[in-house]
Amino acid sequence: MSNSFDFELVASDQVSEAIDRINEAVRDLEPKLDKTKEGLKLGGQETADGLSGFISRLENMSKSARDNVQFIGDMVPPLKMVG
């Protein structure tokens, strides 16, 4: 015994019209979706570049702070010399 399916599909012009309306609705949504996508754009190269610049500024500030720090022993005379 073999499995076979015999069927006939009958469609009227209403189906074609419905498909055309669906295609038109999808085409109308594309510009709105593109605008929304641009509005919600998070990430990508722009964000990576911005974070890279921010991180390099923080690194420069920390390096500058380390290079210019004055040790507590330099500010306060050694205790054995006091008194």
Amino acid identity of 28?
Answer: D
Q: What are 14-27's pLDDT values in tens digits?
A: 878 888 898 999 99
Supply 34's token pair: 């593109």
Residue 2 within any structural domain of the chain: no
Supply 68's token pair: 């210019």
The CA distance from 6 to 26, in Å, is 34
What's the confidence (pLDDT) of residue 45?
Answer: 65
Q: What are 14-61's pLDDT values in tens digits?
A: 878 888 898 999 999 998 888 887 777 766 666 667 778 888 888 988
The CA distance from 20 to 12, in Å, is 13
Residue 1 within any structural domain of the chain: no
Our count of domains for the chain comes to 1
Residue 6 within any structural domain of the chain: no
DSSP state for residue 68 in the 8-state scheme: T
Residue 70 within any structural domain of the chain: yes
What domain range includes position 26?
13-81
